[in-house]
Amino acid sequence: MHLPSSKHCRKLHESTMADPVLHPDTTNPLHHHQTQPLKEIAIDYTPEACSHCPNSNTITLTFDHRGGARWRTTTRFHYGTFSSLIQCPKGNTNGLNFNLYLSSLEGEKSQDEIDFEFLGKDRTIVQTNYFSGGNGNKEKIHHLGFDASDGFHEYVIKWSYDVIEWLIDGKVVRREEKKEGKGFPQKPMFLYASIWDASCIDNGRWAGKYDGSDAPYVCLYKDIHVPTSTAVK
């Protein structure tokens, strides 16, 4: 779940360029695609709450009185490795959701999706999930062993036609294999990230109830890499 209130969703797009130096991915034999620093992004809403610094390959998302913001890649990708260093917001983040995820199209009822989701009520855990044809309910909670706001940590999604791996700081925390007769993400997908008020989900039991006493809340992304060779034109 990544959609904030529709009143905030002004479809605005901005592009910026980044250093094109290649960063080869050799950590897993499932993925032989080269990854590259993210060259451009689109901002789906509240562009003034999202900044992209090309030289340092960093993106900042802010949640405050304006609401949150969401960025995505400008192209879809069909398999490969996606990574970012992330430092989550500090303070009382109850009610907020901040994330990194793949989706064939945000808001589409039949979307494929692969998620990392941070729940503001407890920054020492992260939730992973995946969807196929709009069917999810495959959530798992992972205990990080640290507060995700204390510093940068690496989050990686490795996705092939029959395997998904989620990695944190180089360690595989979850692996799912395609099973006969079961849905599995196969549509080309964008890389997304957002910060939004998720208080309404399950009456606040999922991410907590938004307090806002420490706003503005800033989520930082840096060293973002995508598998350019699998980009779908």
As given in the structure block, the two tokens for residue 41 are 């992004």
As given in the structure block, the two tokens for residue 212 are 């806002």
Length of the chain, in residues = 233
List 48, 117, 154, 165, catalytic entry: 117
Nearest-angstrom CA–CA distance, 158 and 82: 6
Residue 40 annotated in active site: no
Total domains present in the chain: 1
pLDDT, tens only, 67-108: 999 999 999 999 999 999 999 999 999 999 999 999 999 888
Q: Is residue 58 part of a domain?
A: yes
Residue 177 annotated in active site: no
pLDDT, tens only, 169-217: 999 999 999 999 899 999 999 999 999 999 999 999 999 999 999 999 9
* Whether the predicted pLDDT of 139 surpasses 70: yes
Range of the domain at 115: 41-232
Q: Is residue 5 part of a domain?
A: no
Q: Is residue 36 part of a domain?
A: no
Q: Is residue 16 part of a domain?
A: no
DSSP 96-131: EEEEEEEESSTT-TT--EEEEEEETT-TTEEEEEEE
Q: Is residue 14 part of a domain?
A: no
Q: Is residue 182 part of a domain?
A: yes
As given in the structure block, the two tokens for residue 213 are 């006493």
Q: Is residue 32 part of a domain?
A: no
Q: Is residue 118 part of a domain?
A: yes
Nearest-angstrom CA–CA distance, 156 and 28: 12
Return the CATH number at 99: 2.60.120.200
Nearest-angstrom CA–CA distance, 133 and 115: 15
Predicted local distance difference test score (pLDDT) of residue 49:
98
pTM of this prediction? Answer: 0.86
List 40, 106, 113, 154, catalytic entry: 113
Instruction: Give the pLDDT band (50/70/90) at residue 20.
Output: very low
